[in-house]
């Protein structure tokens, strides 16, 4: 366990959550008409749920979520400095566990794809950091 920096993993997880919230808000603005003033609360909730169930929204979430996860892996590797892949793996496993909390909200294919991509995405981010560090050395 001494190879894993808990601080780096938690900071990376926080960064991913912030990036994902930003990406989610942008996707809702792009794929749904939910930011119109004057709508009663219930239709807005229904519009958000309908947008979140749309195929274009879900596929965009998979792609952009993988990018934010890779960015989190890069960030963790940069903060931890040593054992970048172990730290990225810990981040990926934390992300997978967190994703299980939302399992009932999304289609099965989306959940399975998310579980399959989260660890490789964090490891890709750590690898990109390792390559960048070697290039600057």
Q: What is the pLDDT of residue 21?
A: 94
Choose among 113, 109, 125, 95: nearest CA to 20.
95
Query: Rounded distance, CA 55 to CA 43, Å?
Result: 20
Q: What is the pLDDT of residue 29?
A: 82
Query: Rounded distance, CA 87 to CA 123, Å?
Result: 9
Query: Rounded distance, CA 64 to CA 13, Å?
Result: 16
Ramachandran assignment for 32, one of left (phi > 0), alpha (psi -120 to 50 degrees), beta (any other):
beta
What are the average pLDDT values for consecutive 10-residue runs of the chain, which has 137 residues? 89 96 88 57 57 80 96 96 94 96 90 96 97 89
């Amino acid at each position: 366990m001494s190879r894993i920096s808990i601080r780096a993993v938690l900071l990376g997880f926080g960064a991913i959550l912030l990036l994902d919230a930003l990406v989610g808000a942008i996707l809702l603005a792009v794929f749904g008409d939910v930011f119109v003033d004057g709508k009663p609360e219930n239709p807005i909730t229904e519009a958000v749920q309908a947008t979140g169930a749309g195929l274009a929204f879900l596929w965009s979430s998979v792609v952009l979520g993988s990018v934010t996860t890779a960015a989190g892996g890069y960030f963790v590797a940069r903060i931890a400095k040593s054992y970048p892949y172990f730290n990225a793996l810990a981040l990926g496993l934390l992300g997978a566990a967190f994703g299980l909390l939302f399992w009932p909200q999304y289609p099965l294919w989306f959940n399975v794809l998310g579980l399959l991509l989260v660890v490789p995405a964090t490891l890709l981010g750590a690898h990109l950091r390792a390559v960048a560090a070697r290039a600057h050395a």
